[in-house]
Amino acid sequence: MSPNDIQSPIRVCFISPKAYPLFNPNVEAVFGGAEVDLYYLATELAKDDSFTVSFITADYGATLAIANKTNIYAYDAYFIDCALRHAAPPRGCR
C-alpha cells in the first residue's frame, strides 16, 4: 500500500445500556465489570486515528426521573421507560 492510499478508519460501536454512569459521573447507578472493560476498550481505541468509536448506552434522563419518583433502581426504571416510549404493552392493556 502506498502512502497516497487513503484508508477509512475502522468503525466500532459498543452497546452497553448500563455503562452510562462511566461517561457521566454525576449519575449514581449500578454498573459492573463488563461495562468498565468496554469503557476502557472504547476509550483506548478512540485514541487511535485508525478507529472511529461509538458507544450506545441507556437513556438515563427519563430513567432517573422515574427511579427517583418511584424509589426503584435506575436499571429497573430503564425498562419501564423503554416500555412507555414504545407503547408496550399496547394502549388497550393499560
Could you read off the pLDDT of 43-76 as tens digits, one per residue?
999 999 999 999 988 777 777 788 889 998 877 8
Residue 90 has pLDDT above 90, yes or no: no
> pTM for the complete prediction?
0.64
Residue closest to 80 by CA, chosen among 57, 91, 64, 93: 64
Q: Give the Cβ contact number of residue 60 at 10 Å.
A: 21
